[in-house]
Structure 1
Amino acid sequence: MSSLNFYSEPTALNREEHKDLAFTVSNDFSFTSKINSVPVTGIEFFEASRDMPILFSKDEKGNYFPIALLSLMNESHNFLEEDGSWSEAYQPAFIRRYPFVLTDEGTVCFDAKAAHFTAEANESTQTLFDEKGENTKALNNAIQFLNAFNEQHKQTTEFCEQAKQLDIFKPLNIKVNIEKSGPLALNGMFCIDEKKLGELSEEVVIKWFKSGWIAWSYAHLHSIGALKRLLKRQSA
Protein backbone atom coordinates (compact mmCIF):
# COMPACT_ATOMS: atom_id res chain seq x y z
CA MET A 1 0.00 0.00 0.00
CA SER A 2 1.30 3.45 -0.85
CA SER A 3 0.96 4.81 2.67
CA LEU A 4 2.48 8.23 1.98
CA ASN A 5 0.17 9.52 -0.73
CA PHE A 6 -0.57 13.22 -0.08
CA TYR A 7 2.44 13.65 2.25
CA SER A 8 4.86 16.25 0.84
CA GLU A 9 7.23 16.29 3.80
CA PRO A 10 6.60 13.37 6.23
CA THR A 11 8.32 14.22 9.51
CA ALA A 12 8.65 12.26 12.75
CA LEU A 13 6.84 14.05 15.57
CA ASN A 14 9.23 15.09 18.35
CA ARG A 15 7.94 16.47 21.67
CA GLU A 16 10.96 18.77 22.04
CA GLU A 17 11.32 20.03 18.51
CA HIS A 18 7.57 20.38 17.98
CA LYS A 19 6.47 21.44 21.45
CA ASP A 20 4.92 24.65 20.10
CA LEU A 21 3.34 23.08 17.03
CA ALA A 22 -0.38 23.75 16.79
CA PHE A 23 -2.93 21.74 14.83
CA THR A 24 -6.11 22.89 13.12
CA VAL A 25 -8.90 20.56 12.08
CA SER A 26 -9.62 21.29 8.42
CA ASN A 27 -12.53 20.44 6.14
CA ASP A 28 -10.45 21.18 3.06
CA PHE A 29 -9.62 17.90 1.33
CA SER A 30 -8.36 19.41 -1.89
CA PHE A 31 -5.08 17.56 -1.29
CA THR A 32 -6.89 14.50 -2.70
CA SER A 33 -7.80 16.18 -5.99
CA LYS A 34 -5.16 14.36 -8.07
CA ILE A 35 -6.16 10.78 -7.21
CA ASN A 36 -8.79 8.41 -8.55
CA SER A 37 -8.56 5.67 -5.91
CA VAL A 38 -7.37 5.04 -2.36
CA PRO A 39 -6.71 1.91 -0.28
CA VAL A 40 -9.51 0.82 2.06
CA THR A 41 -9.69 -1.71 4.86
CA GLY A 42 -12.23 -4.51 5.10
CA ILE A 43 -14.23 -2.93 7.90
CA GLU A 44 -14.96 0.00 5.54
CA PHE A 45 -16.49 -2.14 2.79
CA PHE A 46 -20.02 -1.84 4.19
CA GLU A 47 -20.26 1.96 4.25
CA ALA A 48 -18.09 2.59 1.21
CA SER A 49 -20.08 0.16 -0.96
CA ARG A 50 -23.01 2.59 -1.06
CA ASP A 51 -21.01 5.23 -2.88
CA MET A 52 -18.00 3.65 -4.60
CA PRO A 53 -16.83 0.31 -6.00
CA ILE A 54 -14.41 -1.66 -3.84
CA LEU A 55 -12.02 -3.52 -6.12
CA PHE A 56 -8.67 -5.23 -5.65
CA SER A 57 -5.33 -4.09 -7.00
CA LYS A 58 -2.29 -6.33 -7.42
CA ASP A 59 1.27 -5.15 -6.78
CA GLU A 60 4.48 -6.25 -8.45
CA LYS A 61 4.94 -8.99 -5.84
CA GLY A 62 1.56 -10.49 -6.64
CA ASN A 63 -0.08 -9.30 -3.42
CA TYR A 64 -3.67 -8.01 -3.45
CA PHE A 65 -5.17 -5.12 -1.55
CA PRO A 66 -8.59 -3.44 -1.80
CA ILE A 67 -9.05 0.05 -3.14
CA ALA A 68 -12.03 2.38 -3.27
CA LEU A 69 -12.49 3.59 -6.82
CA LEU A 70 -13.29 7.30 -6.67
CA SER A 71 -13.31 7.97 -10.39
CA LEU A 72 -12.84 6.48 -13.85
CA MET A 73 -10.79 9.55 -14.77
CA ASN A 74 -7.02 9.77 -14.48
CA GLU A 75 -5.72 11.75 -11.50
CA SER A 76 -9.02 13.33 -10.52
CA HIS A 77 -12.39 12.62 -8.92
CA ASN A 78 -15.72 14.33 -8.24
CA PHE A 79 -16.15 13.81 -4.51
CA LEU A 80 -14.94 17.33 -3.69
CA GLU A 81 -17.20 20.36 -3.39
CA GLU A 82 -16.09 23.71 -4.77
CA ASP A 83 -14.71 24.79 -1.39
CA GLY A 84 -12.60 21.64 -1.07
CA SER A 85 -14.91 19.94 1.42
CA TRP A 86 -15.86 16.30 0.93
CA SER A 87 -19.29 15.53 -0.44
CA GLU A 88 -21.91 13.63 1.55
CA ALA A 89 -20.46 10.35 0.26
CA TYR A 90 -18.35 8.04 2.41
CA GLN A 91 -14.80 9.26 3.04
CA PRO A 92 -12.18 6.49 3.35
CA ALA A 93 -10.11 6.38 6.54
CA PHE A 94 -6.96 6.56 4.42
CA ILE A 95 -7.94 10.17 3.69
CA ARG A 96 -9.30 10.99 7.14
CA ARG A 97 -6.03 10.18 8.89
CA TYR A 98 -4.14 12.93 7.02
CA PRO A 99 -1.98 14.87 7.98
CA PHE A 100 -0.81 12.22 10.47
CA VAL A 101 0.55 8.76 9.71
CA LEU A 102 2.03 5.92 11.73
CA THR A 103 5.16 4.05 10.62
CA ASP A 104 5.47 0.28 10.86
CA GLU A 105 7.65 0.83 13.92
CA GLY A 106 4.94 2.88 15.62
CA THR A 107 6.47 6.33 15.13
CA VAL A 108 3.93 9.14 14.74
CA CYS A 109 4.67 11.31 11.73
CA PHE A 110 2.98 14.32 10.17
CA ASP A 111 3.17 16.23 6.92
CA ALA A 112 5.20 19.30 7.76
CA LYS A 113 3.88 20.99 4.61
CA ALA A 114 0.23 20.46 5.53
CA ALA A 115 -1.86 23.60 6.01
CA HIS A 116 -3.19 22.07 9.24
CA PHE A 117 -0.17 23.20 11.25
CA THR A 118 1.06 26.55 12.57
CA ALA A 119 4.13 27.45 14.61
CA GLU A 120 2.10 29.17 17.33
CA ALA A 121 -1.21 28.26 18.96
CA ASN A 122 -4.22 30.56 18.76
CA GLU A 123 -7.94 30.43 19.48
CA SER A 124 -8.70 28.20 16.49
CA THR A 125 -5.88 25.67 16.94
CA GLN A 126 -5.10 22.77 19.25
CA THR A 127 -1.66 22.10 20.67
CA LEU A 128 -0.16 18.62 20.41
CA PHE A 129 1.82 18.78 23.66
CA ASP A 130 0.98 20.45 26.96
CA GLU A 131 3.28 22.53 29.15
CA LYS A 132 4.75 19.37 30.69
CA GLY A 133 5.52 17.89 27.30
CA GLU A 134 2.74 15.31 27.55
CA ASN A 135 0.38 14.46 24.72
CA THR A 136 -2.77 16.56 24.55
CA LYS A 137 -6.20 15.05 23.95
CA ALA A 138 -5.99 16.14 20.31
CA LEU A 139 -2.79 14.17 19.75
CA ASN A 140 -4.00 11.14 21.68
CA ASN A 141 -7.17 11.07 19.58
CA ALA A 142 -5.07 11.16 16.40
CA ILE A 143 -2.83 8.35 17.66
CA GLN A 144 -5.85 6.25 18.61
CA PHE A 145 -7.22 6.62 15.09
CA LEU A 146 -3.85 5.75 13.54
CA ASN A 147 -3.49 2.62 15.68
CA ALA A 148 -7.01 1.49 14.78
CA PHE A 149 -6.32 2.10 11.09
CA ASN A 150 -3.07 0.12 11.17
CA GLU A 151 -4.75 -2.77 12.97
CA GLN A 152 -7.52 -2.87 10.38
CA HIS A 153 -4.89 -2.72 7.65
CA LYS A 154 -3.17 -5.81 9.10
CA GLN A 155 -6.44 -7.71 9.26
CA THR A 156 -7.25 -6.74 5.67
CA THR A 157 -3.81 -7.87 4.52
CA GLU A 158 -4.42 -11.25 6.17
CA PHE A 159 -7.81 -11.50 4.47
CA CYS A 160 -6.23 -10.82 1.07
CA GLU A 161 -3.44 -13.34 1.65
CA GLN A 162 -5.97 -16.03 2.54
CA ALA A 163 -8.11 -15.18 -0.49
CA LYS A 164 -5.03 -15.39 -2.71
CA GLN A 165 -4.08 -18.80 -1.30
CA LEU A 166 -7.61 -20.04 -1.98
CA ASP A 167 -7.38 -18.67 -5.53
CA ILE A 168 -10.71 -16.84 -5.40
CA PHE A 169 -9.62 -13.63 -7.11
CA LYS A 170 -10.40 -13.13 -10.78
CA PRO A 171 -9.68 -10.30 -13.23
CA LEU A 172 -12.41 -7.70 -13.55
CA ASN A 173 -12.45 -6.08 -16.96
CA ILE A 174 -15.20 -3.52 -17.42
CA LYS A 175 -16.08 -1.44 -20.44
CA VAL A 176 -18.29 1.58 -19.89
CA ASN A 177 -19.46 4.44 -22.05
CA ILE A 178 -19.05 7.95 -20.68
CA GLU A 179 -21.13 10.54 -22.48
CA LYS A 180 -18.44 13.21 -22.63
CA SER A 181 -15.44 10.92 -23.08
CA GLY A 182 -16.75 7.93 -25.00
CA PRO A 183 -15.86 4.26 -24.32
CA LEU A 184 -13.57 3.55 -21.37
CA ALA A 185 -12.01 0.23 -20.34
CA LEU A 186 -11.21 -0.58 -16.73
CA ASN A 187 -8.38 -3.11 -16.70
CA GLY A 188 -5.90 -4.42 -14.15
CA MET A 189 -8.48 -4.71 -11.38
CA PHE A 190 -9.64 -7.87 -9.61
CA CYS A 191 -12.70 -9.05 -7.73
CA ILE A 192 -13.69 -12.09 -5.70
CA ASP A 193 -15.11 -14.91 -7.77
CA GLU A 194 -18.57 -15.44 -6.27
CA LYS A 195 -18.77 -18.98 -7.65
CA LYS A 196 -15.49 -19.98 -5.98
CA LEU A 197 -16.57 -18.22 -2.81
CA GLY A 198 -19.63 -20.42 -2.70
CA GLU A 199 -17.49 -23.52 -3.14
CA LEU A 200 -15.27 -22.94 -0.11
CA SER A 201 -15.08 -25.83 2.33
CA GLU A 202 -17.22 -25.81 5.45
CA GLU A 203 -14.11 -25.39 7.59
CA VAL A 204 -13.01 -22.29 5.68
CA VAL A 205 -16.52 -20.82 5.64
CA ILE A 206 -16.78 -21.14 9.44
CA LYS A 207 -13.38 -19.47 9.88
CA TRP A 208 -14.26 -16.69 7.44
CA PHE A 209 -17.66 -16.18 9.03
CA LYS A 210 -16.12 -15.77 12.50
CA SER A 211 -13.50 -13.39 11.11
CA GLY A 212 -16.12 -11.29 9.33
CA TRP A 213 -14.51 -12.07 5.97
CA ILE A 214 -17.62 -13.60 4.44
CA ALA A 215 -19.45 -10.34 5.13
CA TRP A 216 -16.53 -8.35 3.70
CA SER A 217 -16.58 -10.49 0.55
CA TYR A 218 -20.25 -9.89 -0.15
CA ALA A 219 -20.00 -6.20 0.70
CA HIS A 220 -17.24 -5.99 -1.91
CA LEU A 221 -19.35 -7.82 -4.49
CA HIS A 222 -22.31 -5.57 -3.69
CA SER A 223 -20.12 -2.48 -4.17
CA ILE A 224 -19.46 -3.28 -7.84
CA GLY A 225 -22.98 -2.03 -8.47
CA ALA A 226 -21.81 1.41 -7.33
CA LEU A 227 -20.10 1.80 -10.70
CA LYS A 228 -23.39 3.15 -11.98
CA ARG A 229 -23.48 5.83 -9.28
CA LEU A 230 -19.85 6.64 -10.00
CA LEU A 231 -20.61 7.07 -13.68
CA LYS A 232 -23.60 9.26 -12.88
CA ARG A 233 -21.47 11.45 -10.61
CA GLN A 234 -18.75 11.68 -13.25
CA SER A 235 -21.18 12.56 -16.05
CA ALA A 236 -22.71 15.28 -13.92
Structure 2
Amino acid sequence: MNITPPFGYRDIKALNRADYVRYSTPTDTPPFIKDTAIVPLSLGEMVPAAWHYPLVFVRDAANERVSLVAMLGLAAGENLFNTQAGWKSETYLPAYVRRYPFCMARVSVNGQADPNLLVCVEKDYVADDAVAGTRQLFDGEGRATQEWQQIELFLREYEADLERTNVFCAELLEFDLLEPLTATVTRPGQDNWQVTGFMGINEKKLMELPEAVVAEWHRNGWLARAWLHLFSLQRLQRLLQERGNAPFPAGNA
Protein backbone atom coordinates (compact mmCIF):
# COMPACT_ATOMS: atom_id res chain seq x y z
CA MET A 1 0.00 0.00 0.00
CA ASN A 2 1.37 3.39 -1.05
CA ILE A 3 0.15 6.49 0.80
CA THR A 4 0.56 9.92 -0.82
CA PRO A 5 1.11 12.56 1.88
CA PRO A 6 -0.57 15.96 1.43
CA PHE A 7 1.43 19.18 1.07
CA GLY A 8 3.78 19.73 4.02
CA TYR A 9 3.40 16.29 5.57
CA ARG A 10 6.57 14.20 5.67
CA ASP A 11 6.04 10.54 6.60
CA ILE A 12 2.48 9.49 7.38
CA LYS A 13 0.84 6.21 8.35
CA ALA A 14 -2.68 4.91 8.64
CA LEU A 15 -4.06 5.68 12.09
CA ASN A 16 -4.12 2.52 14.18
CA ARG A 17 -6.54 1.96 17.06
CA ALA A 18 -3.61 1.13 19.34
CA ASP A 19 -1.66 4.32 18.53
CA TYR A 20 -0.91 6.98 21.10
CA VAL A 21 -0.87 10.37 19.38
CA ARG A 22 0.65 13.70 20.34
CA TYR A 23 -1.31 16.70 19.11
CA SER A 24 0.09 19.89 17.66
CA THR A 25 -1.05 23.07 19.44
CA PRO A 26 -1.22 26.81 18.65
CA THR A 27 2.19 27.12 20.34
CA ASP A 28 3.57 23.96 18.70
CA THR A 29 2.74 24.46 15.04
CA PRO A 30 3.57 21.89 12.31
CA PRO A 31 7.21 21.92 11.16
CA PHE A 32 6.31 22.63 7.53
CA ILE A 33 4.35 25.79 8.33
CA LYS A 34 7.35 27.55 9.84
CA ASP A 35 9.06 28.16 6.52
CA THR A 36 6.32 28.37 3.90
CA ALA A 37 4.74 31.49 2.44
CA ILE A 38 1.43 29.79 1.63
CA VAL A 39 -1.04 27.42 3.23
CA PRO A 40 -3.97 25.64 1.52
CA LEU A 41 -7.40 27.10 2.22
CA SER A 42 -10.97 25.90 1.67
CA LEU A 43 -14.08 27.77 0.54
CA GLY A 44 -15.64 27.57 3.98
CA GLU A 45 -12.68 29.43 5.51
CA MET A 46 -12.58 32.33 3.11
CA VAL A 47 -14.79 34.67 5.17
CA PRO A 48 -12.68 34.65 8.37
CA ALA A 49 -9.37 34.27 6.50
CA ALA A 50 -9.98 37.25 4.18
CA TRP A 51 -9.70 39.62 7.15
CA HIS A 52 -6.12 38.50 7.78
CA TYR A 53 -4.48 37.21 4.59
CA PRO A 54 -4.45 37.78 0.83
CA LEU A 55 -6.30 34.80 -0.66
CA VAL A 56 -4.83 33.81 -4.01
CA PHE A 57 -4.49 30.85 -6.35
CA VAL A 58 -1.45 28.78 -7.28
CA ARG A 59 -1.09 26.56 -10.32
CA ASP A 60 -0.10 22.92 -10.03
CA ALA A 61 1.37 22.30 -13.47
CA ALA A 62 1.76 18.56 -12.85
CA ASN A 63 -1.98 18.08 -12.34
CA GLU A 64 -3.16 20.95 -14.58
CA ARG A 65 -5.18 22.46 -11.76
CA VAL A 66 -5.12 25.43 -9.41
CA SER A 67 -5.53 25.59 -5.64
CA LEU A 68 -6.74 28.26 -3.24
CA VAL A 69 -4.14 29.38 -0.69
CA ALA A 70 -3.60 32.05 1.94
CA MET A 71 -0.43 34.13 1.61
CA LEU A 72 1.63 34.14 4.80
CA GLY A 73 4.59 36.15 3.52
CA LEU A 74 6.02 38.19 0.66
CA ALA A 75 9.16 36.12 0.05
CA ALA A 76 9.72 32.43 -0.58
CA GLY A 77 9.76 30.46 2.68
CA GLU A 78 8.59 33.45 4.72
CA ASN A 79 5.81 32.98 7.29
CA LEU A 80 5.06 36.28 9.05
CA PHE A 81 2.43 34.80 11.36
CA ASN A 82 4.33 31.98 13.05
CA THR A 83 6.41 33.11 16.04
CA GLN A 84 8.34 31.37 18.82
CA ALA A 85 5.22 31.74 20.95
CA GLY A 86 3.05 30.15 18.24
CA TRP A 87 0.60 31.61 15.74
CA LYS A 88 0.05 35.34 16.11
CA SER A 89 -2.84 36.00 18.47
CA GLU A 90 -6.16 37.20 17.09
CA THR A 91 -5.15 35.95 13.63
CA TYR A 92 -7.21 33.24 11.94
CA LEU A 93 -5.46 29.86 12.07
CA PRO A 94 -6.25 27.90 8.86
CA ALA A 95 -7.86 24.50 9.23
CA TYR A 96 -4.98 22.91 7.32
CA VAL A 97 -2.75 23.81 10.27
CA ARG A 98 -5.34 22.94 12.92
CA ARG A 99 -5.85 19.40 11.66
CA TYR A 100 -2.16 18.48 11.91
CA PRO A 101 -0.82 15.83 12.61
CA PHE A 102 -3.92 14.14 11.16
CA CYS A 103 -5.02 14.15 7.53
CA MET A 104 -7.07 12.30 4.94
CA ALA A 105 -4.71 10.79 2.36
CA ARG A 106 -5.00 9.08 -0.99
CA VAL A 107 -3.87 5.48 -1.21
CA SER A 108 -2.88 3.18 -4.05
CA VAL A 109 -2.62 -0.60 -3.87
CA ASN A 110 -0.60 -2.44 -6.54
CA GLY A 111 -0.60 0.72 -8.61
CA GLN A 112 -4.38 1.13 -8.46
CA ALA A 113 -5.75 4.26 -6.78
CA ASP A 114 -8.31 3.64 -4.04
CA PRO A 115 -11.26 6.04 -4.42
CA ASN A 116 -11.62 6.21 -0.65
CA LEU A 117 -9.44 8.43 1.52
CA LEU A 118 -7.62 6.99 4.51
CA VAL A 119 -7.33 8.66 7.92
CA CYS A 120 -3.61 9.08 8.56
CA VAL A 121 -1.26 10.65 11.07
CA GLU A 122 2.32 11.95 10.94
CA LYS A 123 4.60 9.19 12.23
CA ASP A 124 6.68 11.55 14.37
CA TYR A 125 3.55 12.24 16.45
CA VAL A 126 2.80 8.58 17.18
CA ALA A 127 4.01 6.43 20.08
CA ASP A 128 3.45 2.78 20.95
CA ASP A 129 3.00 3.55 24.64
CA ALA A 130 1.42 6.25 26.78
CA VAL A 131 4.39 8.65 26.92
CA ALA A 132 3.99 12.22 28.16
CA GLY A 133 1.85 14.39 25.91
CA THR A 134 0.21 11.54 23.99
CA ARG A 135 -3.28 10.14 24.21
CA GLN A 136 -5.09 7.09 22.89
CA LEU A 137 -8.09 7.74 20.65
CA PHE A 138 -9.77 4.35 21.02
CA ASP A 139 -10.67 2.50 24.20
CA GLY A 140 -9.57 -0.99 25.18
CA GLU A 141 -12.33 -2.53 23.08
CA GLY A 142 -11.37 -0.57 19.98
CA ARG A 143 -14.25 1.90 20.19
CA ALA A 144 -13.63 5.51 19.21
CA THR A 145 -13.54 7.96 22.09
CA GLN A 146 -15.81 10.99 21.97
CA GLU A 147 -12.73 13.12 21.42
CA TRP A 148 -11.72 11.15 18.34
CA GLN A 149 -15.28 11.18 16.98
CA GLN A 150 -15.15 14.98 16.99
CA ILE A 151 -11.72 15.06 15.35
CA GLU A 152 -12.74 12.58 12.66
CA LEU A 153 -15.89 14.57 11.92
CA PHE A 154 -13.76 17.70 11.51
CA LEU A 155 -11.36 15.88 9.18
CA ARG A 156 -14.15 14.53 6.97
CA GLU A 157 -16.05 17.83 6.84
CA TYR A 158 -12.86 19.70 6.00
CA GLU A 159 -11.96 17.22 3.27
CA ALA A 160 -15.44 17.64 1.77
CA ASP A 161 -14.93 21.41 1.81
CA LEU A 162 -11.59 20.97 0.02
CA GLU A 163 -13.39 18.98 -2.67
CA ARG A 164 -15.91 21.81 -3.09
CA THR A 165 -12.96 24.18 -3.35
CA ASN A 166 -11.46 22.06 -6.12
CA VAL A 167 -14.72 22.29 -8.07
CA PHE A 168 -14.76 26.08 -7.64
CA CYS A 169 -11.15 26.35 -8.86
CA ALA A 170 -11.95 24.14 -11.86
CA GLU A 171 -14.80 26.50 -12.75
CA LEU A 172 -12.43 29.47 -12.63
CA LEU A 173 -10.22 27.69 -15.15
CA GLU A 174 -13.21 26.67 -17.27
CA PHE A 175 -14.27 30.30 -17.70
CA ASP A 176 -10.67 31.54 -18.06
CA LEU A 177 -11.03 33.93 -15.12
CA LEU A 178 -7.54 33.55 -13.66
CA GLU A 179 -4.52 35.61 -14.61
CA PRO A 180 -0.97 35.96 -13.23
CA LEU A 181 -0.92 38.22 -10.19
CA THR A 182 2.06 40.50 -9.63
CA ALA A 183 2.42 42.93 -6.75
CA THR A 184 5.20 45.51 -6.67
CA VAL A 185 6.33 46.58 -3.21
CA THR A 186 8.00 49.97 -2.98
CA ARG A 187 9.76 51.16 0.17
CA PRO A 188 11.91 54.27 0.61
CA GLY A 189 15.60 53.50 0.51
CA GLN A 190 15.13 49.98 -0.85
CA ASP A 191 14.85 48.48 -4.30
CA ASN A 192 11.37 47.59 -5.53
CA TRP A 193 10.29 44.04 -4.73
CA GLN A 194 7.96 42.04 -6.96
CA VAL A 195 5.76 39.28 -5.58
CA THR A 196 5.02 36.77 -8.33
CA GLY A 197 3.97 33.15 -8.82
CA PHE A 198 0.34 33.65 -7.82
CA MET A 199 -2.89 33.96 -9.76
CA GLY A 200 -5.94 36.12 -9.24
CA ILE A 201 -9.40 36.58 -10.74
CA ASN A 202 -9.72 39.05 -13.59
CA GLU A 203 -12.43 41.43 -12.36
CA LYS A 204 -13.49 42.50 -15.86
CA LYS A 205 -14.01 38.90 -16.98
CA LEU A 206 -15.88 38.14 -13.77
CA MET A 207 -18.33 40.97 -14.50
CA GLU A 208 -18.83 39.69 -18.06
CA LEU A 209 -19.96 36.19 -17.08
CA PRO A 210 -23.22 35.12 -18.76
CA GLU A 211 -26.34 35.81 -16.67
CA ALA A 212 -27.13 32.11 -16.34
CA VAL A 213 -23.65 31.46 -14.92
CA VAL A 214 -23.92 34.43 -12.56
CA ALA A 215 -27.24 33.09 -11.25
CA GLU A 216 -25.78 29.62 -10.70
CA TRP A 217 -22.67 31.00 -9.00
CA HIS A 218 -24.84 33.17 -6.77
CA ARG A 219 -26.89 30.16 -5.67
CA ASN A 220 -23.89 28.03 -4.74
CA GLY A 221 -21.92 30.88 -3.15
CA TRP A 222 -19.12 31.04 -5.70
CA LEU A 223 -19.87 34.59 -6.79
CA ALA A 224 -19.50 35.89 -3.24
CA ARG A 225 -16.27 33.92 -2.83
CA ALA A 226 -14.85 35.39 -6.04
CA TRP A 227 -15.44 38.94 -4.78
CA LEU A 228 -14.12 37.98 -1.37
CA HIS A 229 -10.85 36.93 -3.02
CA LEU A 230 -10.58 40.35 -4.69
CA PHE A 231 -11.33 42.08 -1.39
CA SER A 232 -8.64 40.06 0.40
CA LEU A 233 -5.89 41.38 -1.89
CA GLN A 234 -5.94 44.53 0.23
CA ARG A 235 -4.29 42.42 2.92
CA LEU A 236 -1.01 42.57 0.99
CA GLN A 237 -0.52 45.82 2.89
CA ARG A 238 -0.78 43.93 6.17
CA LEU A 239 1.98 41.56 5.09
CA LEU A 240 4.18 44.56 4.44
CA GLN A 241 3.36 45.92 7.90
CA GLU A 242 4.16 42.56 9.49
CA ARG A 243 7.60 42.57 7.82
CA GLY A 244 8.48 45.96 9.26
CA ASN A 245 11.86 47.12 7.98
CA ALA A 246 13.24 43.65 7.27
CA PRO A 247 15.12 43.71 3.95
CA PHE A 248 13.93 41.58 1.07
CA PRO A 249 16.29 38.86 -0.18
CA ALA A 250 18.02 39.21 -3.53
CA GLY A 251 15.75 38.53 -6.51
CA ASN A 252 11.95 38.25 -6.53
CA ALA A 253 9.55 36.03 -4.63
Q: Same fold (TM over 0.5)?
A: yes
Alignment of structure 1 residues 61-100 onto 2, 5 Å = 61-100=63-102
Aligned residue in 1 for 2:207: 198
Residue 54 of structure 2: aligned partner: 53
> What TM-score results when the alignment is normalised by the length of structure 2?
0.83
After superposing the two structures, state which structure 1 stretch, 200-209 or 183-192, moved more: 183-192
Structure with the larger strand share: 2
Runs of 4+ more than 6 Å apart: none
Percent pairwise identity: 30
Q: Is 2:149 aligned against 1:140?
A: yes
Q: Match of 1:91, as an amino acid?
A: L
Deviations 1:158-199 (A, max 9, x none): 111111111111221111135696422112211111111111
Measure, in 2, the Cα distance between the counterparts of 1:182 and 1:43: 38
CA RMSD of aligned residues (A): 2.2
- Please list the CA deviations of residues 31-82 of structure 1 after superposition, one character each: whole Å capped at 9, or x if unmatched: 2211110111122111111111001111114311111000012212121232
TM value normalised by structure 1? 0.88
TM-aligned CA deviation for residue 140 of structure 1:
1.5
Aligned length: 230
SS for the counterpart of 2:214 is helix
Report the Cα distance in structure 2 between the residues aligned to 1:100 and 1:73, rounded to whole angstroms: 28
Asked if 1 retains the 8 angstrom alpha-carbon contact of 2:40 and 2:68, the reply is yes
Matched, 1:159 2:168: yes
Give the 3-state SS of the residue equivalent to 1:76 in structure 2: coil
* Mapping of residues 82-231 of structure 1, within 5 Å: 82-104=84-106, 105-114=116-125, 117-121=126-130, 125-177=134-186, 182-231=191-240
Opposite residue 77 of structure 2, the aligned amino acid is E
Indicate the residue corresponding to 1:43 in structure 2: 44
* Alignment gaps of 5+ in structure 1: none
Is the CA contact (8 Å cut-off) linking 1:22 and 1:120 kept in structure 2? Answer: no
Change (3 A) 1:132 1:30: closer
Q: Secondary structure at the match of 2:194?
A: strand
1:21 corresponds to which residue? 20
1:3–1:45 CA distance, 2 compared to 1 (3 A): farther
1:7 is aligned to 9
